[in-house]
Amino acid sequence: MKVHEFLEHHGIAGNPFAEEDAQNDTVFKRTCLETTFHPAWDKIYGDPADPSTAIVFGEKGSGKTALKLQMVRHFERHAAAHPEARTFVVLYDDFNPFLDRFVSRVGPNRPVEKVLAQWKLWDHMDAILTLAVTQLVTSVNEPPTRQAKLTPPQARDLALLAACYDQSLAETFPARWRRLRGRIGYRAWRGLWPRALAVLATVAIVAALGFSIFKGSLDWTRQWWPWVALAAAWLPFAWRQVRGGWKAWRIVHSMRTGNRTVGQLARALARMPEVDLAGQPLPAFARSDDRYELFGKLQGVLKALGYTGMVVIVDRLDEPHLINGSAERMRQVIWPLFDNKFLKSPGLGFKLLLPGELYRFIERETEAFNQRARLDKQNLVPSLEWSGETLYDIASARVKAASAGTPPATLAQLFEPAVDQRRLIDGLRSLRVPRQLFKFLYRMLVAHCHSHTDEQPVYSISLPEFERELAVFRRDQDAFDRGLAPR
């Protein structure tokens, strides 16, 4: 007996339990994304008009990525309903490029744990600014977008942020930065006067030399003053290049998660008038103070573009190849981010969706850490738990979402009457998280269909089958939790 025939008999198109990752789950994205929520949803999502921070710990498969997708969808819906009060959403869920650059800068030949011990808050800030600025520059540069309405100081701020942090892989940095300046009306030509002065002086000397050769009189070339004047004309340009190169080197050296080269950044800074750079914060030191000011500039630009808040969603911390599921390495990377000053920045909210094994480190932390992190103020969810009733509702919603007929199919109709709702809820409660729920129901459907032939199909799962498969799955689950067997 085939699984798809069993499901088609009940009016279900496709197996609603085949996918285990919300990122690739078409059933979830089609229906459950907007209908099935964790009981702590309101606390985690908060109010999009006033972004807040939430820190969630959940074991693998508990629905952290599903929460991320749901939050993104609801922020998009809020933006569509309130175009002048949107929330700028940054997905900080791919740590690989930032960790790779960091390790290559700090110590490519040293043990990973010793290198990650040097990861600091400003490395997170640089990474988040990189994602946010790159996303913002892309949206501003898109052809359908109208020219951004920014004041001259805001245009300068965005140009400065883009010079340091725009790291798109779709096109070259000089082309993107040039187009951005045109879109926001930033007059970078004002920074070209040293080059223009040097070129004009050179052209004048060359013209004078050519005229003298034509007249046959080169006596003036033996004088010292023309060459001193030429050197003086080139001096401002040379000084700008040296200063720009020095600033660029310090910035590149300080930004351990960036990929900007010294040459690229030096040319960009040289195009900006000296008056625009005077007194401006630059990420040129190993400290967070300048980054706080740069976040303030970014938020000012976002506000001018119609964004009243900014939300950073952190997910998939356990997946980078340098971390490879190690709880200690995850702790080294994420702990610097537990800073109440940063997490409570006005207009800025963080949604930290973290692996559950990190919470035991929280329980053992010192008073100094607790005072710095102030987790009591961060909407903390210690465990993303699911009740048996909620898991039953999730399974029922997926069956309904995959149904092709009217009325839609129900989870209960897949079983014999002896497997009533109470027995199902009691059995599913032990599975703890949605991913284990999907694995179990998928395995049970396969086992049932393998137990019957096409000639004598059985379209209801019996109570003994349910009990047997649940007992086997629990045993495998316990073995996996103890690290004794693969799943």
Same domain, 194 and 252: yes
Q: For residue 100, with 0-12 CB atoms within 10 Å meaning exposed, 13-18 middle and 19 or more buried, which class applies?
A: middle
User: Does 468 reside within a domain?
Assistant: yes
Tokens encoding 122: 């400003």
Same domain, 77 and 194: no
Contact assessment for residue 331 and residue 324, using Cβ atoms and an 8 Å cutoff:
no
pTM of the complete model beyond 0.85: yes
Q: Supply 84's token pair.
A: 């002048």
Handedness of CA 39, 41, 44, 46 (dihedral sign): negative
Q: How far is CA 410 from the centre of its chain?
A: 37
pLDDT at 86: 94
Sequence-separated (6 or more) residues with CB below 8 Å from residue 27: 14, 16, 19, 398, 401, 402
Does 307 reside within a domain? yes
pLDDT at 399: 92
- Name residues of the chain where pLDDT drops below 50: none
Place of tokens 């086992």: 447
pLDDT digits (tens, 9 = 90+) for 184-220: 988 765 556 666 767 777 777 777 666 666 666 665 5
Do 181 and 62 share a structural domain? yes
Q: Which of 213, 247, 276 is the last residue of a domain?
A: 276
Distances (CA, A) of 434 to 121, 351, 389: 33, 20, 12
Distance CA 26, CA 433 (A): 19
Asked if 428 and 451 sit in the same domain, the reply is yes
CA 15 to chain centre: 31
Which among 227, 251, 276 is the end of a domain?
276
Same domain, 181 and 195: no
Q: Are residues 173 and 306 in the same domain?
A: yes
Q: Which domain holds residue 253?
A: 189-276
pLDDT, residue 139, reads 93
Structure confidence at residue 195 (pLDDT): 67
Same domain? For 204 and 167 the reply is no
Asked if residue 266 lies in contact with residue 245, where contact means CB atoms within 8 angstroms, the answer is yes
In a domain, 453, yes or no: yes
Strand partners, 311: 89, 349
Q: Are 77 and 108 contained in the same domain?
A: yes
- State whether residue 286 is helix, strand or coil: coil
Q: Cβ distance 197 to 238 under 8 Å? A: no
Q: Which residues are CB-neighbours of 180 under 8 A, at least 6 positions away?
A: 137, 140, 141, 158, 159, 162, 166, 186
pLDDT at 165: 97
Is residue 42 domain-resident?
Answer: no
Are 27 and 441 contacting, i.e. CB atoms less than 8 angstroms apart? no
Alpha helices in 272-387 (DSSP H): 274-277, 289-304, 327-334, 340-343, 359-363, 367-373
Question: Each residue of 23-69: pLDDT tens digit?
Answer: 877 888 777 788 888 999 999 999 998 999 999 999 999 999 999 99
Helix 262-271 to helix 152-165 angle, to the nearest 10 degrees?
170
Residues 67 and 44 sit within 8 Å (Cβ to Cβ): yes
pLDDT at residue 278, as a whole number: 86
Please indicate, yes or no, if residue 360 is contained in any of the structural domains. Answer: yes
How crowded is residue 223: how many other Cβ atoms within 10 Å of its Cβ? Answer: 9
- The answer to whether residue 38 sits within a structural domain is no
Distances (CA, A) of 268 to 62, 139, 229, 278: 46, 21, 28, 15
Domain count, the chain: 3
- Residue 270 forms part of a structural domain: yes
By the 8 A CB rule, do 343 and 375 touch? no
Residues 241 and 270 in one domain: yes
Q: Burial-class residue 123 by CB neighbours within 10 Å (0-12, 13-18, 19+).
A: buried
Regarding whether 292 and 172 lie in a shared domain, the answer is: yes
- ∠314-318-320 over CA atoms, to 5°? 95
Alpha-carbon torsion, ordered 267, 268, 273, 278, to 10 deg: -110
Residue 429 and residue 318 in one domain: no
- 168 and 306 share one domain: yes
